[in-house]
Homo-oligomer: A and B are copies of this chain.
């Protein structure tokens, strides 16, 4: 046992899987997106990393809006399909039934358990990727994914992605409570 130095482009870790929704030249488009993270607590901002060549980036620049939709594991085929063909070559607008919040150019996917409607705050022009920061204008969850009124990840059953081995995963059993599992150790170290 011991540590091995590996290439900086071959390590894997679990990304959430989302579907980025945009409106490009008046047409709805979707692409799978794994590079996503909250970036600011208040106001509620989220960041997404998109390879500059992607058709979706045009729509974000055009409208200053996008959506981040979290598909359930049973949407794996449609989700993956969106990454196999560019919106510049195929019309993906009819693939999912959509709805809208207050922004009329951020299509939200009805079938996804969780949908975030975002207004572009800032875009960073990194060497090979755009990093877009959006304010979450509204968040929508499927009623059936609530437990006692709160979002339940087990009911959402979202997908995870590892790259470059290119595998989707589900979320497994709960491992413990955050800001809780270490309480005993805190106590022991204070003694």
- The interface bits of chain A over 40-65 (1 if a CB of B lies within 8 angstroms of the residue's CB, else 0) are 11111101010100000000000000
- The interface bits of chain A over 6-46 (1 if a CB of B lies within 8 angstroms of the residue's CB, else 0) are 11111111111010000000000000100111111111110
Q: Which residue, A4, A158, A184, has most C-beta atoms of chain B within 10 A?
A: A4
Give how many copies assemble into the complex. 2
We find that the number of chain A residues with CB closer than 8 angstroms to chain B is 103
Pair B182/A43 contact, Cβ less than 8 Å: no
Pair A143/B4 contact, Cβ less than 8 Å: yes
Q: Which residue, A128, A165, A176, A184, has most C-beta atoms of chain B within 10 A?
A: A176
Closest to A185 in B: B81
Closest to A38 in B: B35
Partner of A39, one of B4, B129, B159: B129
Closest to A32 in B: B178
**Distance A174 CA – B140 CA, assembled complex (angstroms):** 27
- The interface bits of chain A over 85-107 (1 if a CB of B lies within 8 angstroms of the residue's CB, else 0) are 10000100000000101000000
**Distance A42 CA – B78 CA, assembled complex (angstroms):** 28
The smallest C-beta distance from A25 to any residue of chain B, in angstroms, reads: 21
Q: Using a CB-CB cutoff of 8 Å, which residues 108-149 of chain A contact chain B?
A: 108, 110, 114-116, 124, 126-129, 131, 133, 136-144, 146
Partner of A181, one of B77, B156, B172: B77
The smallest C-beta distance from A5 to any residue of chain B, in angstroms, reads: 6
The smallest C-beta distance from A1 to any residue of chain B, in angstroms, reads: 5
Could you list 17 A-B pairs, sorted by A, with CB under 8 Å? A2-B143, A3-B108, A3-B141, A5-B138, A5-B139, A9-B44, A11-B151, A12-B153, A13-B16, A14-B16, A15-B16, A77-B184, A80-B185, A83-B179, A84-B179, A169-B171, A172-B173
